[in-house]
Chain A
Amino acid sequence: MNDLRELYQEVILDHSRNPRHFREMPEANRHADGHNPLCGDRVTVYLHLAGDVIEDVSFKGAGCSISTASASMMADALRGKSVDEVRALFDRFHDLVTSDPSHAADQLDASSELGKLAVFSGVCEFPMRVKCASLPWHTMKAALEGAARASTE
């Protein structure tokens, strides 16, 4: 069960049970729908952008614990960040969940700047779950770039 606990960390389970920022956002000026056709996960990410800064983030949808927790913690992390900071964070997070588990050093590198999001470091050991963790992020990026849709395929 040890390895499993690396994936299902308490923080992740907590966010999946009680997702934060889980609501529609009528005042959003960007949003996009994400879909993982493999497992049926769906998420809509809403952004309220004021100039260059993300004033508010929220999401709706139905997904597994990993994608729900990822969306919830992403929303926590993005509030108040500038678009450039968000882009950098996207890259870091992407590196974290897709890194080769045998290169622990790369991971450490990535996780040091990720703060709480580093709890997703266990995901890279579970290739079938990488898309679950990254779906909300891809969807957020699509919203930022004005695309209507993101897919993990």
Chain B
Amino acid sequence: MSAQPDSIRTPEALDVAAVRREFPLLQTTVHGKPLVYLDSAASAQKPQVVIDAERDVYERYYSNIHRGVHQLSVLATDAYERARARVQHFLGAREAREILFVRGATEAINLVAQTYGRRNVGAGDEVLITGLEHHSNIVPWQMLCEEKGATLKVAPIDDAGVVDMAAFEGLLGPRTRIVSVSHVSNALGTINPVERMTERAHAAGAVIVIDGAQAAPHLAIDVERIGCDFYAFSGHKVYGPSGVGALYGRAALLEAMPPWQGGGDMISSVTFEKSTWAELPHKFEAGTPNVAGTIALAVAIEWLEGLGLEAVAAHEDELLAYGTELLSAIPGLRLVGTAPDKAGVLSFVLDGVHPHDIGTILDYEGVAIRTGHHCAQPVMDRYGIPATARASLACFNTREDLDALARGIGKVQEMFK
């Protein structure tokens, strides 16, 4: 997260003013103040091209997919499958059939737990996660472990919010069947060393699932380089629509896995005696999906790649460094989560002021942040706090946004002094 001085910026540096103009919502006001949106870790705003893409589907070629011989169905199916190829390249997967469309990261993780997990985890086995997981990477494993009589192990984090790798490795053992870790923590911003974790998990004979919900908007992802078995992300956090996301799974594993939901599209033949399953990826895509949303997700990814993933990351790193310095200078403010390797998140608490009050007062200044436990109660417990205030960064944020945040915090402190 090193700040880049202006002098060594490449010509491709992000034109943030131009990026901002693409977002209709960023032109609006809240309580009479220009909107300062610092809540993209919860969900990102959408550029016009994504909004237009979804409408375009409905206006020009919407139909169900994989089902008709008519022209519209051919067009819609074709666009849907091109979206799959786009996601494949975004994640660096070898084959398009390794990409399954789902509702989002939550559904992706549940899919792995309910199929691979139920088939491969038994009594006395273990699932390993870390102390900085989102509830959606805790609860599906708890449900699985409870059903199977397996044990959920948790690798602890240190005060900075970094996973204790010695403990992580110590918790891997001959009974570890699945390791599931976030690539980037939503509550603290910590980037996990997923390549090393993957190597360790594989050495112990376990598969590894990576929850990339917070990584996808910030980091260039390459599942082949990481070497992971599964990778999950949500469309709405990468400037795409809500309710659609993807799961990458290694083809050999997906082929051996039983289907999850049964229904249309996922079968090759059905009789009342027995049904046989369709080929990948359709085996895992029962029912009519979010056709327009999936196509718009691919447009969002294309748009993000068009900005340049490296330019976006450099811009956000620079903002993170700026924001870290700015907030650290505020008396009575404590940053929660200070890992050396971080992306996109400034979580903090203020002496004598509950995060909920910070959120309400900032909202009056037009500054949207998230307050609460961020679906990561165990992280809050680790720090002995009920909640934090969290400002999170996106490609469209600026130093002025962070200045507005700091000024707003000043008003909070004035109110509560």
Give A residues with C-beta under 8 Å from B: 1, 3-4, 7-8, 13, 17, 38-42, 62-66, 68, 126, 128-129, 132
Name B389-417 residues within 8 Å CB distance of A: 411, 415-416
Contact of B279 with A by CB under 8 A = no
- The answer to whether B387 and A3 have CB atoms under 8 Å apart is no
- The answer to whether A128 and B364 have CB atoms under 8 Å apart is no
Name B122-157 residues within 8 Å CB distance of A: none
Contacts of A39 in B (CB 8 A): 354-356, 371-373, 386-387
- The answer to whether B356 and A41 have CB atoms under 8 Å apart is yes
Contact of B74 with A by CB under 8 A = no
- The answer to whether A38 and B357 have CB atoms under 8 Å apart is no
Name B325-348 residues within 8 Å CB distance of A: none
Contacts of B72 in A (CB 8 A): none
A-B contact list, 9 entries, CB within 8 Å? A1-B364, A3-B31, A13-B415, A38-B372, A40-B373, A41-B356, A63-B354, A65-B353, A68-B354
Given contact pairs A13-B416, A39-B372, A65-B416, A3 touches B357 in the complex (Cβ within 8 A): no
Contacts of A4 in B (CB 8 A): 360-361, 364, 415
Contact of B321 with A by CB under 8 A = no
Contacts of B372 in A (CB 8 A): 38-40
Contact of B251 with A by CB under 8 A = no
Contact of B380 with A by CB under 8 A = yes
- The answer to whether B354 and A64 have CB atoms under 8 Å apart is yes
Give B residues with C-beta under 8 Å from A: 31, 352-357, 360-361, 364, 371-373, 377, 380, 386-387, 411, 415-416
- The answer to whether B415 and A40 have CB atoms under 8 Å apart is no
Contacts of B411 in A (CB 8 A): 1
Contacts of A62 in B (CB 8 A): 386
- The answer to whether A132 and B364 have CB atoms under 8 Å apart is no
Separation of A42 and B381 alpha carbons in the complex (Å): 13
- The answer to whether A40 and B364 have CB atoms under 8 Å apart is no
Contacts of B386 in A (CB 8 A): 39-42, 62-63
Residue of A nearest to B377 (CB): A40
Residue of B nearest to A1 (CB): B364
A-B contact sample (19 more), CB < 8 A, given A39-B356, A40-B380, A128-B360: A3-B364, A4-B360, A4-B364, A4-B415, A7-B360, A8-B415, A17-B352, A39-B355, A39-B372, A40-B377, A41-B356, A41-B386, A63-B354, A64-B356, A64-B357, A65-B357, A65-B416, A66-B356, A126-B360
Given contact pairs A1-B364, A13-B415, A41-B386, A66 touches B357 in the complex (Cβ within 8 A): yes
Separation of A4 and B373 alpha carbons in the complex (Å): 24
Separation of A79 and B416 alpha carbons in the complex (Å): 28
Q: How far is the CB of B409 from chain A (nearest CB, A)?
A: 15
Residue of B nearest to A61 (CB): B386
Separation of A1 and B31 alpha carbons in the complex (Å): 10
Given contact pairs A39-B387, A40-B387, A132 touches B356 in the complex (Cβ within 8 A): yes
Q: How far is the CB of B355 from chain A (nearest CB, A)?
A: 7
Contacts of B416 in A (CB 8 A): 13, 17, 65
Contacts of A40 in B (CB 8 A): 372-373, 377, 380, 386-387
Contacts of B371 in A (CB 8 A): 39
Separation of A7 and B352 alpha carbons in the complex (Å): 18
- 3 smallest A-B Cβ distances: which pairs? A40-B386, A64-B354, A64-B356
Which of A8, A63, A64, A129 lies at the interface centre, i.e. has the most chain B CB atoms within 10 A of its CB? A64
Contacts of A8 in B (CB 8 A): 357, 361, 415
Contacts of A3 in B (CB 8 A): 31, 364
Contacts of B360 in A (CB 8 A): 4, 7, 126, 128-129
Contacts of A68 in B (CB 8 A): 354
Q: How far is the CB of B33 from chain A (nearest CB, A)?
A: 11
- The answer to whether A65 and B354 have CB atoms under 8 Å apart is yes
Contacts of A42 in B (CB 8 A): 386
Q: How far is the CB of A86 from chain B (nearest CB, A)?
A: 27
Separation of A64 and B352 alpha carbons in the complex (Å): 10
Residue of B nearest to A62 (CB): B386
Separation of A41 and B357 alpha carbons in the complex (Å): 12
Q: How far is the CB of B368 from chain A (nearest CB, A)?
A: 12
Contacts of A126 in B (CB 8 A): 360
Contacts of A38 in B (CB 8 A): 372
Which of B353, B357, B371, B373 lies at the interface centre, i.e. has the most chain A CB atoms within 10 A of its CB? B357
